[in-house]
Amino acid sequence: MEEAGRLGDGGIGPGVFVGVLGPSGAGKDTVIELARAAFAGNPDVVFVRRVVTRPSDGSEDHLSATPEAFALAEASGAFALSWHAHGHDYGLPVGFERDIRGGKVVVANISRSVAALARARYRDTRLVHVTAPAELLAARRAARHRASEATEGGASRAERVKVAVALRPGDIEIVNDREPEAAGARLVALLRSLLAREG
């Protein structure tokens, strides 16, 4: 019997790709960091550092690149998944696919625009949709002072994510509207269940 979320025998495996997505202000990076801390020292859970064409502002642990360097890397096949959002380019270095081939659980912050590609590329893909009420999304974005994200309303963006990404068995939705530790605990629980299955 196939596991929930599995798309059959095609794609890279046997490990699991866990894509964390959701609207800006949902707290994806916070949830991921809480899970990273919970699995510190566990080599079977890998957290991917994205390459982004903007300097780090402390809200996310990413690798910075100039647009020119990013374009060259993308053209050379350095990224397994890449996308453009909010005026910047984002990429996941292809090296993590060795971990999936090695049976590990790999976690990455992704865009809804590459969710379908991830499902097709990895034999077992789980999507974690992190969200929050529209007014809370807007307040969090305002607190971050991201001018590039201030031109679009929170409610419409959150709704587009729900419309564009249909969750399947094995995926989860996390409503991050209270203490972030509660949202982080849900991601940790998912990862532990995947580790138990892989074991």
- pLDDT truncated to tens, each residue of the chain (199 aa)? 234 344 445 699 999 999 999 988 888 999 999 999 999 999 999 999 999 998 866 556 778 899 999 999 999 999 999 999 888 999 999 999 999 999 999 999 999 999 999 999 999 999 999 998 888 788 777 776 544 444 444 444 444 444 356 788 889 999 988 899 999 999 999 999 999 986 5
- Tell me if 76 is assigned to some domain: no
Residue 198's pLDDT is 65
In this prediction, residue 190 carries a pLDDT of 96
Residue 6: strand, helix, or coil: strand
**pLDDT at site 74:** 96
pTM: 0.82
Alpha-carbon torsion, ordered 27, 108, 3, 40, to 10 deg? -90
Q: Is there a domain that residue 80 lies in?
A: no
Residue 145 region by backbone torsions, left for phi larger than 0, else alpha for psi between -120 and 50, else beta: left
Q: Do the domain assignments include residue 77?
A: no
Query: Which pLDDT belongs to residue 199?
Result: 58
Query: SS3 sequence, 144-185?
Result: HCCHHHCCCCHHHHHHHHHHHCCCCCCCEEEECCCCHHHHHH
Under 8 Å between Cβ of 156 and 24: no
Kindly state the tokens that stand for 176.
């991050």
What's the CATH code of the domain at 127? 3.40.50.300
- The reported pLDDT for the residue numbered 145 is 57
Query: Would you say residue 126 lies in a domain?
Result: yes
The verdict on residue 92 lying in a domain is no
pLDDT at residue 162, rounded to an integer: 43
How many domains does the chain divide into?
Answer: 1
Range of the domain at 106: 16-48+102-198
In a domain, 150, yes or no: yes
Determine contact, residues 17/118, Cβ cutoff 8 Å: yes
